[in-house]
């Protein structure tokens, strides 16, 4: 069995038998350290007993670890058409528009990732997923995310359609927190609270893109004090498409201790964007507990069991019937996922009439399930569609809301010298 070496160390071993603990594509921490220090690594620094070096150009575009390792990145798991074992995704880039002069006038690019079964469009503005097309049971593609046809829609006020939100996704109570004995006050943009990074969060800025194999990596430097947050923050958001699996990896490093919580705020409707509601969707979430909230959507601090409540989604429920049964206006709650940093299945959605399915896997400790309760039909979306209440849902993998103020929640603090690193996978199919 072929083994791969870096500076004399075996960094990738066999897929079975002795050495299978390095299965597959385990790259040593030595490579990670060299890359973090800015070293440029190429295939000449690795060797193996035969074959060619094409694989290294893919491996070195990422920091890779074994499946199950907390820092395993997407797209290199054998089976399921993923990674180098499956077909390469086509990546195209084009100009989408230009920001208004008052926003700096910068050019916004669109990146199109396409496989045989999925096509996704991503903007350099806010790392926005502007379109996501998947096949139904009939083999026909449909765009299953809400959004706009032109840049103008995204530069106006909208409910974070498809965007990466941060520095801290979700809500911080009273926009206030204390780190290392110093109190920080954020902009209040959601009643008495701060939401999704503040007045000008990560969703409203241009990112620097770089095309990589099967995808695109976006980078930005968030200055110390931006939106009131401490520390200069380097952030990388990487989208990769392998077959029917779209992966989003989030990495960040800070010069000061800072809270951080990154997610993507795509609004899904598996019947196709523009469909009037999501009541005929089946939803399941692998969570034994959830966070009750007050009337401003801030967690009360209680971690409540889902058993016997309308929040028990461990088995699939038809959403419309479920909301009526439990007299719920909708969901906008954090579900507490099993502890651990390994990739795990956290949610599944299915639309029986079209057969479309979506699985969500993640390394994150929480999942915000939102059913578009605040959509009101006032926005004109793609193809002149309107988006009324409950016309889409969000499955936002993230840390728990207001965790920076609730010590018994999983910590959102990133310290200097550490790295924030989480991945979410969206797997599309039919059933």
Active site positions, annotated: 265, 396
**Torsions phi, psi for 151 (to 5 deg):** -60, -35
What does the block give as tokens for 131? 């379109």
Beta bridge partners of 114: 90, 119
Give the integer Cα–Cα distance in Å for 162 and 269: 12
Q: Which two tokens stand for residue 169?
A: 């996704």
Contact 258, 414 (CB under 8 A): yes
Question: Given strand 9-12, what is the order of strands in its sheet?
Answer: 9-12, 4-6, 46-48
Closest to 124 in 3D by CA, of 198, 210, 201, 226: 210
* Number of neighbouring beta carbons within 10 Å of residue 410: 14
Q: Which tokens is 208 given? A: 């620097």
Whole-angstrom Cα distance, residue 124 to residue 136?
28
Per the CB < 8 A criterion, the answer to whether 37 and 73 are in contact is no
Three-class DSSP category at 285: strand
Tokens of 418: 């550490």
How far is C-alpha 256 from the chain's CA centre?
Answer: 24
Instruction: Find all residues with CB under 8 Å of 141, minimum gap 6, and list them.
Output: 119, 133, 134, 135
């Amino acid at each position: 069995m072929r083994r791969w070496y870096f500076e004399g160390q075996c960094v990738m071993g066999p897929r079975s038998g002795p050495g299978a603990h390095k299965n597959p594509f385990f790259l040593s921490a030595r490579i990670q350290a060299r890359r973090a220090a800015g070293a440029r690594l190429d295939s000449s620094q690795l060797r193996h007993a035969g074959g060619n070096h094409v694989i290294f150009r893919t491996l070195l575009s990422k920091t890779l670890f074994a499946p199950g390792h907390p820092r395993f990145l997407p797209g290199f798991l054998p089976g399921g058409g993923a990674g180098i074992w499956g077909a390469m995704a086509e990546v195209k880039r084009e100009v989408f528009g230009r920001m208004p002069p008052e926003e700096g006038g910068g050019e916004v690019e669109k990146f199109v990732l396409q496989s045989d079964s999925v096509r996704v469009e991503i903007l350099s503005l806010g790392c926005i997923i502007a379109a996501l097309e998947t096949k139904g049971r009939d083999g026909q593609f449909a765009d299953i995310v809400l959004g706009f046809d032109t840049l103008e829609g995204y530069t106006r006020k909208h409910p974070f359609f498809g965007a990466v939100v941060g520095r801290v996704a979700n809500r911080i109570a009273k926009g206030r927190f204390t780190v290392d004995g110093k109190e920080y006050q954020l902009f209040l943009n959601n009643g008495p609270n701060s939401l999704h990074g503040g007045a000008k969060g990560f969703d409203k800025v241009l990112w620097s893109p770089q095309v990589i194999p099967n995808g695109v990596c976006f980078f930005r430097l968030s200055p110390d004090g931006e939106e009131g947050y401490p520390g200069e923050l380097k952030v990388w958001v990487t989208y990769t498409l392998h077959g029917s699996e779209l992966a989003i990896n989030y990495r960040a490093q800070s010069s000061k201790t800072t809270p951080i919580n990154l997610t993507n705020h795509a609004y899904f409707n598996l019947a196709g964007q523009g469909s009037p509601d999501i009541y005929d969707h089946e939803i399941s979430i692998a969570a034994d507990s959830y966070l009750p909230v007050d009337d401003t959507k801030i967690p009360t601090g209680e971690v409540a069991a889902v058993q016997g409540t309308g929040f028990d989604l461990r088995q699939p429920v038809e959403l419309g019937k479920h909301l009526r049964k439990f007299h719920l206006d909708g969901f906008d709650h954090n579900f507490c996922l099993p502890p651990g940093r390994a990739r795990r299945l956290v949610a599944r959605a299915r639309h029986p009439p079209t057969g479309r399915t979506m699985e969500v896997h993640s390394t994150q400790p929480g999942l915000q399930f939102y059913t578009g309760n605040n959509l009101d039909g006032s926005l004109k979306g793609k193809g002149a569609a309107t988006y009324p209440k409950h016309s889409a849902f969000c499955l936002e993998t993230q840390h728990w809301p207001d965790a920076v103020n609730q010590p018994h929640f999983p910590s959102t603090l990133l310290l200097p010298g550490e790295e924030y690193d989480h991945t979410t996978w969206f797997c599309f199919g039919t059933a």
